[in-house]
Amino acid sequence: MSKQAKTENLTLDDYFNFDDKGWLIHAAGIQEKNSRETLKSPKTPKKSRSDYKPKYRSGAYAIILCLYDHYKEDDAALGLRKGDIIDRAQKNCDSSFSVASNSAKHYTAWAAMKTVVEKGLVEKCGTGKYFHRLTDAGINLAENLSENKTPEISVRKRILQPARDLCTPKKARTISHEVFLVIDKRETSGQKKSKEFQKKIESYAERHGLKYIEKQINVGDFAFMAVVDGKELLLETIVERKGANDLASTLVDGRCYEQKERLKSTGLLNVVYLVETGEIALGDQSIPKDTLRQQIANFQYIDDFTVQEYKEENEAIEYLFEMTKYYEYEILQNPDKVTALKPFHFLEQFTKSCLVSSPKDIYLKQLMAIHGISLEKAEAVAEKFPTLSSLLRGLKQNDAFEALKNVKFISSTANKPRSLGSACAEQIFWFYGS
């Protein structure tokens, strides 16, 4: 009986897998091992894809509900394009699908599309995979979400929403105001591309009932103006638009550095670079694509500007008008803040004074016109030879080439000093005819 008790729950293989001490001792060892494994705490099962639930009013939450609403329509099999999803999903999201809510990260709510595709909730379909629709798993999750739309109790950050979804605060003091996108006249006149851009702005503004005006702006390409009780007030954002071709040409002739300094000198809270970053556009320039990418990174991390990228002009226009709606919302929420705004003509007067170049500025621009001489290198040469006449005198000395070659500068991409080098020294000698 005791033998039977000791050997219960053993398999036939256990009886034949014995050592010299006998199968009973071996069987007791197996039973002891099984009892230890039974006492161990069970492993926590890994979360499956079906366990994923997006945060309430997040980008993923809004995308899934938007596609679910479309799924219930007759043409659900066709899916939705990006633009349609953005327009329909925004009402269910606390972050903007068009404007980055965090100037340091520059991600919009649309970034959640990658997550829901990887989770197997959304699939791309149609020619070129430009359309999106829910999978079976996505439909099941959407049905669950739509049945439980109770908001989570949490403190959420104030974010940008489309103006049509915002309502006037009950306790806020209302004021008579209008917000306009202000476009520099040079941005919509002259070149063929500029005229095409103007037509697209007119078309977008007409379709969405938005307002813009054209004025001459001496710095930047776009600004934002609030008209409050008949007074034109300057809002705290200025935008410089850079197509890939324009970015490359300003780097070649040195205008990029001058423009950056003028934008900084405005003293406005937000300086935005709206940059074209399509792979074809960047790759079809006289400057390598990596150099252009580096300069775009410098705008953000060295100059502390906000960078907003676009691949098509429609995306740039959408961003500009989203900012206009954002300021509409801001004034509705905080009408007392308009008292701190400067008159719009302050921008024009302020920037006009920046147009006067000092002799040193002209000297630096002349140096930067030399092939291979960046702003950092030009400033290092100017520190060694403070004026053009001192540089010309220095070039006549016997050891001028060595002195120029060994001029130290610190580049924007490295923290340690570097020498100007023979190639740049030769370019300076050749430029000034020595």
pLDDT tens per residue across span 409-418: 887 556 678 8
| Per-residue pLDDT at 24 | 55
Residue 156 has pLDDT above 50, yes or no: no
CA distances from 228 to 167, 214, 326 (A): 19, 18, 16
Mean pLDDT comparison of 156-165, 182-191, 249-258, 319-328, highest-scoring range:
319-328
For the chain, give the percent of residues with pLDDT over 90.
6
| Per-residue pLDDT at 2 | 44
| Per-residue pLDDT at 414 | 61
CATH code of domain 359-431: 1.10.150.670
Tokens of 29: 């060892």
Query: Mean pLDDT over all residues of the chain?
Result: 76
The answer to whether the predicted template modeling score (pTM) of the entire model surpasses 0.85 is no
| Per-residue pLDDT at 272 | 92
Q: What are phi and psi of 215, to 5 degrees?
A: -140, 160
Tokens of 365: 């621009």
| Per-residue pLDDT at 33 | 57
SS3 for 144-178 is HHHHCCCCCCCCCCCCCCCHHHCCCCCCCCCCCEE
CATH tag for 51-151 (out of 3.40.190.10, 1.10.10.10, 3.40.50.300, 1.10.1060.10): 1.10.10.10
Report pLDDT digits (tens) over 88-121: 888 888 777 876 655 445 678 888 998 999 999 9
Residue 25 has pLDDT above 80, yes or no: no
- Is 407 in contact with 367 (CB distance < 8 Å)? no
Provide the pLDDT confidence category of residue 246 given band limits of 50, 70 and 90. confident
| Per-residue pLDDT at 273 | 92
| Per-residue pLDDT at 344 | 82
- Is 134 in contact with 73 (CB distance < 8 Å)? no
Taking the C-alpha atoms of residue 142 and residue 61, their distance in angstroms, rounded to an integer, is: 9
Residue 431 has pLDDT above 70, yes or no: yes
Taking the C-alpha atoms of residue 341 and residue 323, their distance in angstroms, rounded to an integer, is: 17
Taking the C-alpha atoms of residue 98 and residue 337, their distance in angstroms, rounded to an integer, is: 25
Taking the C-alpha atoms of residue 396 and residue 424, their distance in angstroms, rounded to an integer, is: 17
| Of the candidate ranges 139-148, 154-163, 389-398, the one whose mean pLDDT is the lowest | 154-163
CB atoms within 10 A of CB 13: 7
| Per-residue pLDDT at 60 | 92
Q: Which residues of 95-120 are buried (b: 16+ CB within 10 A; e: fewer)?
A: bbbbbbbeeeeeebbbebbebbbebe
CA distances from 148 to 91, 151, 155, 206 (A): 17, 9, 19, 38
Tokens of 277: 């970053």
Which residues, other chains included, contact 49 with Cβ-Cβ below 8 Å and sequence gap of 6+? 119, 120, 121, 137
- Is 71 in contact with 119 (CB distance < 8 Å)? no
Report, as an integer, the average pLDDT of 311-328: 88
| Of 361, 337, 3, 102, the residue nearest 111 (C-alpha) | 102
| Per-residue pLDDT at 77 | 65
Task: Give the residue extent of every domain in the chain.
Answer: 2-39, 51-151, 177-354, 359-431
CA distances from 314 to 205, 244, 254, 365 (A): 12, 15, 29, 35
- Is 240 in contact with 271 (CB distance < 8 Å)? yes
| Per-residue pLDDT at 158 | 35
Residue 423 has pLDDT above 80, yes or no: yes
| Domain 177-354 classification at class level | alpha beta
Report pLDDT digits (tens) over 377-411: 888 888 888 888 888 888 888 778 888 888 888 87
SS3 for the chain is CHHHHHHCCCCHHHHHCCCCCCHHHHHHHHHHHHHHHHHCCCCCCCCCHHHCCCCCCCHHHHHHHHHHHHHCCCCHHHCECHHHHHHHHHHHCCCCCCCCCCCCCCCCHHHHHHHHHHCCCEEEECHHHCEEEECHHHHHHHHHHHHCCCCCCCCCCCCCCCHHHCCCCCCCCCCCEEEEEEEEHHHCCCCHHHHHHHHHHHHHHHHHCCCEEEECCCCCCEEEEEEECCEEEEEEEEEEEECHHHHHHHHHHCHHHHHHHHHHHCCCCEEEEEEECCHHHHHCCCCCHHHHHHHHHHHHHCCCCEEEEECCHHHHHHHHHHHHHHHHHHHHHCHHHHHHCEECHHHHHHHHHHCCCCHHHHHHHHHHCCCCCCHHHHHHHHHHCCCHHHHHHHHCCCCHHHHHHCCEECCCCCCCCEECCHHHHHHHHHHCCC
Report, as an integer, the average pLDDT of 284-295: 85
| Per-residue pLDDT at 170 | 41
Provide the pLDDT confidence category of residue 326 given band limits of 50, 70 and 90. confident
Residue 63 has pLDDT above 60, yes or no: yes
Residue 210 has pLDDT above 80, yes or no: yes
Taking the C-alpha atoms of residue 48 and residue 240, their distance in angstroms, rounded to an integer, is: 46
